Each structure stands twice: as C-alpha cells, then as structure tokens.
Structure 1
Amino acid sequence: MQPELASIVDQVRAAHAAGEPVEVRGGATKRFLGEAPRGRPLDTRRLTGITSYQPTELVVTALCGTPLAELEAALAERGQALAFEPPHFAAGGTVGGMVASGLSGPARAAVGSVRDHLLGASLLDGRGELLQFGGQVIKNVAGYDVSRLLAGSFGTLGLLVDVSLKVLPAAPATATLRFACAEHEALERLHRWNGLPLPVNASAWVDDVLWLRLRGAAAAVRAAVQGLRNEGGEAVSDDIGASLWTGLRDQGHPFFSGEAPLWRLSLPQTAPVVALPGEQLIEWHGGQRWWRTSAAATTVRATAASLGGHATLFRAADKAGGVHAALSPPLAAIHRALKQSFDPAGIFNPGRMYPDL
C-alpha cells in the first residue's frame, strides 16, 4: 500500500473509532452541491495518477485525486475522450469528484451518464477497509454492479480510491446549428428528430433559440447539416459552438448567473412545456430543464412530480427547504441500509445528500 493511501486509511480508522465525521474533499469545485458539508476535511488529492490505460481496450484507470484536466489531456493525446463530458465548473476538479457527483454534460442524452461509463472502483469504507468492485474490462457483469452505485453517492458511502472508466474515440466531425423557435416548437422538433437517423449529440434551448450539436462520421454530419438547413437551421462557426457547449457544461453560460435559486428538473424527454415563473434552459432533448425561479420548493417539486420527474435544488443561498425531494419509505430504508453497511459509524459526508443520512 502506498504511503499516501496508508495515511488516509489511518485517518479513516481513527475517525471511525472516535465517531468523528469527515468531509471527503478533492478540488472542492463541486462543494456547493447538496447539503452543507460537515466534518474534518479529508484531502484526496494525495492519491493522484493514471495507473492503467489501454487505448485499444478503451479503458482507463485513475486514482481519485487525479486532476480531471490531466486525465482528459492524456486521453486526447490518443484521440479519445470521456464521452459523457463531465462538468468542471472550475479548475482543479478531480476524477473522484467527477464520479461522486454523478454529473454529466451536454452529451448525456446521446451517450449516457458517468454511471454508464464506470466499469469498476476501489472504495475505502467507513471501517478503513479497502473494497474492490467491478473490473477493468467492458464486459464485466459478474455479481452486483456496486461500482455504479457509487456514482452520484456524494462520498457518503466511502472514499473512492480509484476508478476504471470506459472511454471512446473522439468524434471525427462536429457541427452546431441554431434555430429561432419558441419552447413548444423546440420540444416538438427534438421529439421528431429523435426518431430520425440523425447524429444528434446534444441540444439546448434558451432565449427562444434551439441549439443542436451533431457529431459522428464526417459524411453523416455533412448530410445532416444540409437537411437541417432546410428546416431553418443556421450553422455556426466551430469556435461559437465550442464556446456554447463548454459554457453549458461548466455553467459559464449567462443563464446560470444571478441570485435566483437554480433548480434542476429531471423529466421524461416527452414532457410538455413546464409552467413556472422565471427563466428556463432546456438540455438533453427535453430531459433536463434548468429553472431560475423564486417559486416555493413545494411548487417546483410538485410541478416536476406531476410531469413524471423530480426536482433538485442545485444552487441557492438558502437550502432550508432541502436539496432533494423526500424519499419514499422503501427507498429511504434502502439508503439507510446501504449507509449502515458501508459506513456504520456514519463518518463520511454525513447529511450531504439527506439531512438524516
């Protein structure tokens, strides 16, 4: 065991014995997520480096403290990428934070989430024991897929030591188009295009403009651009397109600035227009709807539930109404059982997802 990991193991075992909470922290670029962090900081950035990379097998393994930018640069050198476009938000984000937050970027609806690309993981549990889940091959289906359970767990089950991820070749061609249209028309177009053989990789609607990103083989992208121009699409430069999608991925787009609470509504792609006061930005072909709204938390959550989805308070100065909607009793029981199994003393990021967890 390397000295850096041994030191962390000692800290976790001491915290477990004392019942002292710890805050698992990497680059702190996503520290605003969830409920307020509690506990003594446990810095993961000592565990850094790409421990295995097999470009021909499309698999990479990296320690949790590895800078996300470093991993992406290494993949880019071999013409590969993390297809789910993990958000950075700011410089300094780590691989562990990427997995623990469970967030994905504009291409999520087309290629899947970080959970879908997670093949295996090593976890340091609340007793200070090192556990291994999954593997380093794409066709790893033996046993329960616990590694994917760790994606989006906010570090409440343990400290991710390393993760193995599926990577994909970078697309040979990309193009971005814009369409001037109202919300209902944008949703109708997206639903229709989803049923056609178009290389649609990402979409966004904001300020009465629908943006569409095409990715794939050069011939397929060229043909799609030509056909969509006939529907009113205007191709934009590569620089404009790259700036837009990076701004959406990292929430640098002007929509995300401001004081009003930012809500994330996860809905079926076919859900109709959402009636809430404020400003809206739609991604993932209608499946992710961002709202800057002063509406009460109960109103926002009831609206999302009525459309078959749920709402999460993503950014706000006041989170007194809770970040996540209350779990049903059966789901709450599962969460508590998992927490008890992995972290019986409740030392890892207590209350970060739910105040009583």
Structure 2
Amino acid sequence: MATLEAMAARFQEGRPVRLTGHGSKDFYGGPLGDAEPVSTLSLNGVMAYEPSELYVTAAAGTPVADVEALLAQHGQHLAFEPPRFVGAASGGTGTIGGMVASGLSGPARATAGAVRDHVLGLTMLDAKGELLHFGGTVMKNVAGYDVSRLMAGSMGVLGLIAQVTLKVLPQPVATATLRFEASQDKALLRMNRWGGQPLPISASAWWDGALVVRLSGTEAAVRAAIHKLGGSVIPEPMAAPFWRGLRDQCDEFFLGARRAVQGGATLWRIAVPSTTPAMPLHGEQLVEWGGAQRWVVTPMAPAQVRDVVAAAGGHATMFYASDKSAGTFSPLGPQLTRIHKELKRQFDPAGIFNPGRLYSDL
C-alpha cells in the first residue's frame, strides 16, 4: 500500500493521477478518465480525538462511518451529517478525504452548516510532492483557514487530502419526527415560515405529498415544538431509518432515481433560494434543507433544466446521469473561471490531479 512518500514521488513524475478511496463517489463529477488511480486507503485511522475540545483528526482513507462510531461512544457526531454511502446504490464506503473533496452534506446541512464550515484544518500533498499544512484544531485558529475550506468541494483537482481535522458537536438530547400531508407549494410555505421562528428544526424533507420534519434539541424544546406544529409523530424506530436512508442516499427515492437514469433520465441536485416556489421541472422531486435543495429526476434536456434553475437564481448539478457531456456542474462565468484556473495553476501547475472531474478544462 502506498505511503505518503511513495505518493509524493509519484506526483513528482508529472503524470496524471486519479485520486480515489473506496470509489463510493465515482459516479459524481466528470468522467474518471484513464489517469492512473492513486488510492488513499493506506492513509487510515484517527490521529487525534479530544472530546472536551470538540475536534477529531483523521487520515483521508478512514471511513466516515468509523469516525462517527468513535464519536458516538462519547455522545458526539459530525453535525452536518455527511453521506457515508454505506448500503447506498453507488456501492463502496465514503471516506474522510472523499467527504471533504466532494463537499456533500446531509439532511442537517441547512441548520448545522456545510462540510467546509466544520473543517478546522487539513494536510495535503501538492503536485511537487510537498506536504502542506493549513488551519488548526480550533475555530479561532485562522492561519491558512481559507485554504482548508477551499478544499471542500474541490473534487481533488488541487491536490491529495492526506489528513483532516473536523469540528464535532454533542448529539442532541431529544429528537422527534413529524409528518404532514401537503403539496409541494404548501410544504415550501410551511418550511419557510417555520424557518423564521425559534423552532428546533434540524432537518426537513418533502416527497410525494408528504412533508417530514425532524426536531432536535432539549426535551422541553422538542415537546413545545410538537405542541406548536402539530402533525403526526412518526415513531423513532421508523423515523431513524428514514433519515439514515436520506443521508446515505439508499432510500426509495434515490434507488428509484438510479433505475430511472438507466432508462435515460438524469437526477439533478439543485440549489435555489429556499423561498423559490415549485419549479416547472417535469419528473419526480424531493425537497430538502427547508426548500434550498431540490432533487429532480427528469428526462428534460440539461439546457432546459439549467435555464429554469438559473431563472430562479440557483444552479443545477448532474448527480446521477448516463450522459454528462453537458457538464456535471453549472458553467462558470468569466470571473469565476479565471479564479478557478488561477487556483489550479498555483496548486497543480502540471495539471496532474483528477483532470476533468470538476470542469473539463481543469
């Protein structure tokens, strides 16, 4: 298994490489291409964990599920609920490095923040084979902090993430899940109205005529919210698997989306202002994050989808698709394109890391 020294020597050769772990997110982003795979799985294990200081440091190839199992022993968790892809249709098991590189967050993202908000620091190998350190172990340590955040969602095009330090938080004392019958428009109105109130809402999802809301906090706060909101309480033995399936993308909606993609449809991950009404997109839809994230399974042409989403002030990403020739991520404007290319030039002047995974010209 490759060590950091062996990886550094490989990068210094200047030949393109494809950074990979268990391959759970091989479906995501641009084509894998024929670059030589470099695995992070030899970089495994928790390097430091201080429950009282609320941080954990783990090597890139460590499964997210393993880190969370350790945190759970101390009543803590990764509050942004990253997809672990354990049991997901994509196969494989999500790793810490892949979690940061993909930038994916789960159901609690709207209230807990995204991956980048929980990255305190990281270590990476650049194209010269040099080991670079950014950030620290506490939020107030801002040395190189922006670079640590920059790696979140970079799809590995800037370098190999070797080690990550993450902020961890206590698990909520109490949780409850409520269900409401509602159309998408009514569900969006409710979610946005509730979002402006002091309610302990930690996640929400609308699909197939049902709005499901998770409450998390103190027992008193959760009881008061149940009394105020009404709805039907879903027993925890049924609610927990629902949120877990949504988080790990192995529930009925995502399994159905994979089948639809085989028939020529595309699963789109859409980010829009939460107040955006139901959009004129044909196909099955699932709404999360209080209305800010919309999943749509549709056979519509990519240009049509992106025009509708752009008109709403958002952007659309091809998540599952058999044809990604239109580009996985929304095209960038001239200024953002220039920034991306300059970052790529600074971190990876030879262009060896994950060519084409983020944009075709990076």
Give the TM-score normalised by structure 2: 0.94
2:249 maps to which of 248, 251, 266: 251
Contact kept, 8 Å, 2:157 with 2:357, in 1: the verdict is: yes
After the TM superposition, which residues 4-19 of structure 1 pair with which residues of structure 2 at under 5 Å, given as runs?
4-14=3-13, 16=14
1:55 and 2:78 equivalent? no
1:209 and 2:191 equivalent? no
1:321 maps to which of 326, 345, 361: 326
After superposing on structure 2, the runs of 4+ consecutive aligned residues of structure 1 that deviate more than 3 Å are: none
Q: Secondary structure at the match of 1:222?
A: helix
Which amino acid is 2:223 matched to? Answer: R
1:65 maps to which of 47, 56, 61: 61
Which amino acid is 2:146 matched to? Answer: D
What displacement does 1:143 show?
5.0
Q: Name the counterpart of 1:234.
A: 232
Which amino acid is 1:59 matched to? Answer: Y
Residues in 2 aligned to 1:282 and 1:93: alpha-carbon distance in whole angstroms: 23
Give the TM-score normalised by structure 1: 0.96
Q: Name the counterpart of 1:181.
A: 182
Q: Name the counterpart of 1:225.
A: 226
What displacement does 1:185 show?
0.6
2:301 maps to which of 296, 305, 315: 296
Residues in 2 aligned to 1:63 and 1:195: alpha-carbon distance in whole angstroms: 39
CA displacement 1:163-211 (0-9 Å, x = unmatched): 1100000111110010001111101111111111110000000000000
CA displacement 1:263-292 (0-9 Å, x = unmatched): 011001111111111110000000000000
Q: Secondary structure at the match of 1:145?
A: helix
1:89/1:144 CA distance change after superposition, 3 Å: closer
What displacement does 1:330 show?
0.8
Q: Percent identity?
A: 54
Residues in 2 aligned to 1:131 and 1:312: alpha-carbon distance in whole angstroms: 30
Residues in 1 aligned to 2:248 and 2:46: alpha-carbon distance in whole angstroms: 24
1:3/1:37 CA distance change after superposition, 3 Å: closer
What displacement does 1:343 show?
0.6
Work out the number of aligned pairs and report it.
349
Q: Name the counterpart of 1:99.
A: 100
Q: Name the counterpart of 1:195.
A: 196
Q: Which ranges in structure 1 are unaligned for 5 or more consecutive residues?
A: none
What displacement does 1:225 show?
1.0
User: What CA RMSD, in Å, does the superposition of the two structures yield over aligned residues?
Assistant: 1.3
1:274 and 2:269 equivalent? no
Residues in 1 aligned to 2:98 and 2:196: alpha-carbon distance in whole angstroms: 35
Residues in 2 aligned to 1:266 and 1:76: alpha-carbon distance in whole angstroms: 31
Q: Secondary structure at the match of 1:141?
A: coil
Q: Which ranges in structure 2 are unaligned for 5 or more consecutive residues?
A: 87-91
After the TM superposition, which residues 84-123 of structure 1 pair with which residues of structure 2 at under 5 Å, given as runs?
84-90=80-86, 91-123=92-124
